Structure 1
Amino acid sequence: MQRIGFLVYPGFQMMSLAAASAFEFANLALKLTNYEVCIVSGSGGPVMSSLGTAIHTEAMGTQRFDTLLIAGAVGVPEVDASVIDIIRAAPSTSRRVAAICTGAFLLAQAGLLDGRRATTHWMLARQLKQQYGAVTVEEDRIFIIDGDIWTSAGMSAGVDLALAMVERDLGSEVARTVAQHLVVYHRRTGGQSQFSALLELEPKSDRIQNALTYARSHLRSALTVEELAAAAHLSPRQFSRAFTAETGQSPAKAVEQLRVEAARLMMEQTQHRIEIIAREVGFADRERMRRAFLRSFGQSPQAMRRHALGQHANAMDNDMSRVA
């Protein structure tokens, strides 16, 4: 039996606990108790969530868990030093330690992310990067596994992370069954970009916003720095410096992500050949688009299209069975 500990603290976000359902339904799928889930805190007793509802917890004490999952909060969590001590010691007693959403800040505070790759909610990813320079923050990932440390993006991504744990422990068939029970339409892989991570860049100046708007409307163009700078009414050097300062990305990286997102939508919503899609969104050829997809999603365009087609077929089968 594998013991799963959910570590909560005052102000934790209740949705973090949704990830526990993946372990519950894995037990149901197997018809045996493979996972034992326990909600713990530093001192035990009732712990108030950000919702204003308290949840009963057991004291962490000397308990040992196969997996320790740290809950996230609405903002950057603030906890007692004793909780950080618990997290810092966790790798010595647990096979894997994970954080959901902003729980990554607690892992970083405990020093467990130093020299590692990690992710968190896209709205706070830049802050994590600024506060903890030893952490390689990848803000466009759903979840990241770096050795025995796991981190996920926003709260719902905690379910993706838990499903990945189930798959790692029990295999893809069990994970697929759990996803169906949870009515998760698309069990996302860790490499997929966070929704709206790019579209919500929110640059401070109208000039940079104008350049982004221009880029979205002219994906088939070359979209050189000179072209974007002209749309922003800045010199190329001024534009590059301002763009990176305001968005945290280079113009070339942002343009590539716009093209990748547009291509992904076209693959999901049309039957166009990949060569045509590559041309329509501004990639010179399908090979360049393939490399961009691997960088952004960890999958090739062909693999993503096959998966989308499979999901569509499953949805059609489910609809037909309900009609029958």
Structure 2
Amino acid sequence: MIVGYPDVELLDVACVADTFDAANRVGASPQYTIEFATLGAQPAISGSGLVLAGQHALERVTGPLDTLVVSGGLGHETAAADPVLVAHVRRLARESRRVSSVCSGASVLAAAGLLDGRRCTTHWVVAPGLAERYPRINVDPKPLYIKDGNVYTAAGVTSGLDLSLAFVEEDNGAEMARTVARALVTYLQRPGNQAQVSMYVQAPTPENSVVRKLVTHIAANLDDDLGTTALAGRAGVSERHLTRLFLDHIGRPPAKYVRETRTEAAARLLTSTPLPLAAIARRCGFGSAETLRQAFVGRYGIAPSRYRNLT
């Protein structure tokens, strides 16, 4: 059962619905019944202007349900402030095998008290506000999706696809999920703890000129000596001052930033080239394939070889 409301994000609904539909078409057993509910069965005008028909009145839906999904969207704050909608989500959660949200739909779960004491994620843009409004939940804005007990939260928009593939794998096995992913022409599936936003595209660019120049140098010279001593010498500052600059402008010390950059570069090469692991390790500045493996597991929670096989 997918729950929507005015200004819902169309992709937050479609990623879930189409994944389950694709699974049905390739033999999911039992078949998924895909239904969309709104208050009063009213049409939900999505953020893009397309209108989704309300198949069911949320207040008349009864359990037991297999999977309850609350979609996100621009209207999430209004939805979370609606006591009627929140009460019915809370009621249905008690009658569902698993409860989930996509993107800012986490706001509704939080308002219903379903995330209290749990670790969860949401879109990185709304994560700070969610954490501030609901101090009893542990908001982690980094992963694509998180499972805490029978409650699942997905980061934003297309991460709903990753979460839905994880559901298919739980229900029907890895081969079924792989078949569905191929049908949808997508990854199978990005690890849940993969970062929402690549460090290569996230904004803003560091304002400090020293940090900005070093970040550019690091990205272009991953196989160089990028130790803190070497970077400080290149910038003409002390190691202590360099560490302070990185903490102030990037939020982590130079060594950690370099390690994350190298690991993400390795992830990109694993999915875009046939290079062997040892060659990728050398190109990204790791001393050995084993060093790369340790860094990769530490960041993504999965071995590089498995990551390549899943994508």
What TM-score, normalized by structure 1, do the two folds share? 0.80
Q: CA deviation at 1:98?
A: 0.7
The answer (yes or no) to whether the contact 2:3–2:70 under 8 Å persists in 1 is yes
Q: What pairs with 1:11-50 in structure 2 (closer than 5 Å)?
A: 11-18=7-14, 19-30=16-27, 34-50=31-47
Moved more, 240-249 or 205-214: 240-249
* Residue among 220, 228, 233 paired with 1:217: 220
Moved more, 162-171 or 241-250: 241-250
Aligned to 2:303: 300
Residue 59 in structure 1 maps to residue 57 in structure 2: yes
* Residue among 6, 9, 12 paired with 2:5: 9
Aligned to 2:286: 283
Root mean square deviation, CA, Å: 3.0
Q: What pairs with 1:108-147 in structure 2 (closer than 5 Å)?
A: 108-147=110-149
Q: 1:229 to 1:129 in 2, by over 3 A?
A: farther
1: CA distance, partners of 2:237 / 2:127: 28
Aligned residues: 304
The answer (yes or no) to whether the contact 2:7–2:75 under 8 Å persists in 1 is no
Moved more, 280-289 or 219-228: 219-228
The answer (yes or no) to whether the contact 1:25–1:178 under 8 Å persists in 2 is yes
2: CA distance, partners of 1:292 / 1:275: 14
Segments of 5+ residues of structure 1 without an aligned counterpart are 309-324
Q: 1:200 to 1:34 in 2, by over 3 A?
A: same
Moved more, 46-55 or 71-80: 71-80
Q: 1:83 to 1:31 in 2, by over 3 A?
A: closer
Q: 1:295 to 1:91 in 2, by over 3 A?
A: farther
Aligned to 1:320: none
The answer (yes or no) to whether the contact 1:214–1:228 under 8 Å persists in 2 is no
> CA offsets, 1:43-96, max 9 Å, x none?
432222112233222221252222110111148643223323333444322111
Residue 188 in structure 1 maps to residue 185 in structure 2: no
The answer (yes or no) to whether the contact 1:12–1:77 under 8 Å persists in 2 is no
The answer (yes or no) to whether the contact 2:110–2:116 under 8 Å persists in 1 is yes
Q: 1:171 to 1:269 in 2, by over 3 A?
A: closer
Secondary structure of the 2:35 match is: strand
Aligned to 1:157: 159
Q: CA deviation at 1:210?
A: 2.7
2: CA distance, partners of 1:108 / 1:233: 48
Q: 1:272 to 1:177 in 2, by over 3 A?
A: closer
Supply the AA of the counterpart residue of 1:29: V
Segments of 5+ residues of structure 2 without an aligned counterpart are none
Aligned to 1:70: 70
1: CA distance, partners of 2:44 / 2:245: 44
The answer (yes or no) to whether the contact 1:202–1:209 under 8 Å persists in 2 is no
Aligned to 2:258: 255
